[in-house]
A and B are shown apart, each in its own frame.
Chain A
């Protein structure tokens, strides 16, 4: 574990008694409450739960954008303290730079590493090919559809060869048809790169279609209620979505979620994930 080269292609995540709280005016809101789990390298894990259950907050902590109140998070034995290209983050709404062409958006991570222009563009082309966007190199993000924007976003994160891919409802804003295409695409991509993926969603079907393992979260406070392995063989197709095994797991997830007591007006998870950045910016501007 001490040699960084030895562990560079792993991606083992460990959470120990992690708690994250927010002050919302005078109220204190416990978004994540003493959560412990472990994710094996190369595993595809979905965090499933209703909105406001702290799953986005947990993902923000894994990305390094949010500090834990107590407990700790480790990636391959090293504590997670700040954002890093090794932990790529994909949001529901794309965060592509509007002023960069598609190819330069994808190549951004390599530019930050000081890779020469020709080389980083060549790598970016490979990744655009991987996500099925060859031929769109010179478009600006605003010229793409929502699904295409998310493809670029995924390519941009993958160019850094992250140990972990963190996805916060990445297909939540897409129409059903595009979402289905993107889910299949993600599995294809994952099959070729085999990085660890932590995928936040409130869509049970999506979680059971994609994941090796589903962590079901409850809210008020955010805790992990169940840890469900999804034993279906890969590659998965539509057959899995209509199988008895799928229905049984879905029934189980529904029971867990319907069990939830509604809680008093929890702040929106997605907003919380960015609260530090937003408030810091607001403070800087007076």
Chain B
């Protein structure tokens, strides 16, 4: 269920988001279409039907496997709750007073970790991308830390921070930092040096160059980094909550396993998927608002 759910989520985001080519500078010798409207044409009914059908069949198979206590040797469905058990469990959780505390604390942690990672990642990325001195100074330790997954920080984070709350936020921060940082550096390096030369020619100083050219030029890539970072920070958070949490969706999922209320495990997983996907979509939409020219450029490039 977990894997299937995530792959569905991934398909959805990639459909709603335009392909992120390396800021392909559209050399235009030809007339461009006037507007970018209508680039998201609705799926024809037939394809929509197939997709819905596939979802229904998937749930039906799941129901059949769990309902019949199927044992396939390698995989065992005997203890997997069926959809018919999950739905009441979901209803119970939605009516319980605890839901607010679980969802609220997870959202707070993700928000705190993600926002601080976004600020730090963009600032560091712009510095490293623009200044050789900053790159020499900052990149070696960052390169050393980069391959270490956020989850691997859990024991050390617990030792480093006074509260488990802070250590979970820190792990979320680590998860989001590197995607944002790397995409920012990538975005800065992808800026056409001719644009920088032109801005200087037109009277831009160092600071103006940063705000008027470097930051907007790197923006599409930064948005990609933020959207990936949002995904990884949820991933890291849920794992951290399983180990160090007292409230939170990850904690709820793990606690349900310990209490042997198996239907709640699946409810927790559904929550993780829904919130992870929703926050990634939110970041992407927000990014699209910040980069209207990029949406138009993509629409022109595709048609």
Contact = CB atoms under 8 A, between A and B. Distances in A.
Most buried by A among B194, B208, B291: B194
B52 interface: no
B291 A95 contact: no
Given A284-B131, A284-B132, A112 B204 contact: yes
B31 A145 contact: yes
Nearest to B296: A140
B203 A142 contact: no
A281 interface: yes
A108 interface: yes
Interface string B190-225: 001111111111111100100011001101000000
B194 A91 contact: yes
A143 interface: yes
Contacts of A141: 28
A274 B197 CA distance: 8
A222 B88 CA distance: 83
A198 to B, nearest CB: 14
A85 B67 CA distance: 75
B135 A145 contact: no
Interface in A114-150: 140-146, 149
Interface string A218-259: 000000000000000000000000000000000000000000
A228 B185 CA distance: 49
Given A65-B197, A83-B197, A145 B131 contact: no
Contact of B26 (A88, A112, A142, A281): A142
A9 interface: no
Contacts of A65: 197, 200-201
Interface in A161-185: 173-175
B30 A160 contact: no
Given A112-B208, A281-B193, A145 B30 contact: yes
A98 B189 contact: no
Contact of B216 (A63, A99, A111, A149): A99
Interface in A70-105: 83-85, 87-89, 91, 93, 95, 97-100
A143 B296 contact: yes
B212 A108 contact: yes
Interface string A267-282: 0000000100110010
A1 interface: no
Contacts, number: 121
A113 interface: yes
A11 interface: no
B32 A95 contact: no
B291 A108 contact: no
Given A99-B216, A140-B297, A281 B29 contact: no
B139 interface: yes
A42 interface: no
B43 to A, nearest CB: 27
Contacts of A100: 216, 293
B203 A113 contact: yes
A140 B28 CA distance: 12
A109 B296 CA distance: 25
B303 interface: no
Interface residues of A, number: 43
Contacts of B25: 98
Contacts of B139: 286
Interface string B128-158: 0111100100010000000000000000000
A259 B57 CA distance: 78
Most buried by A among B33, B34, B188, B297: B297
Contacts of A283: 132
A108 B189 contact: no
Most buried by A among B26, B203, B216: B203
Contact of A85 (B28, B30, B201): B201
B27 interface: yes
A108 B26 contact: no
Most buried by B among A63, A88, A140: A140
Contact of A160 (B185, B189, B202): B202
Given A112-B208, A143-B300, A277-B197, A175 B32 contact: no
A97 B25 CA distance: 11
A281 B189 contact: yes
B24 to A, nearest CB: 11
A157 to B, nearest CB: 8
A156 interface: yes
7 contacts: A64-B201, A99-B291, A100-B293, A109-B202, A112-B204, A173-B29, A283-B132
Interface of A: 63-65, 83-85, 87-89, 91, 93, 95, 97-100, 108-109, 111-113, 140-146, 149, 156-157, 160, 173-175, 274, 277-278, 281, 283-286
Interface of B: 25-34, 129-132, 135, 139, 185, 188-189, 192-205, 208, 212-213, 216-217, 219, 291-294, 296-297, 300
Given A113-B203, A173-B27, A285-B129, 9 more contacts: A93-B27, A95-B198, A98-B25, A112-B202, A112-B204, A142-B293, A145-B32, A160-B203, A173-B29
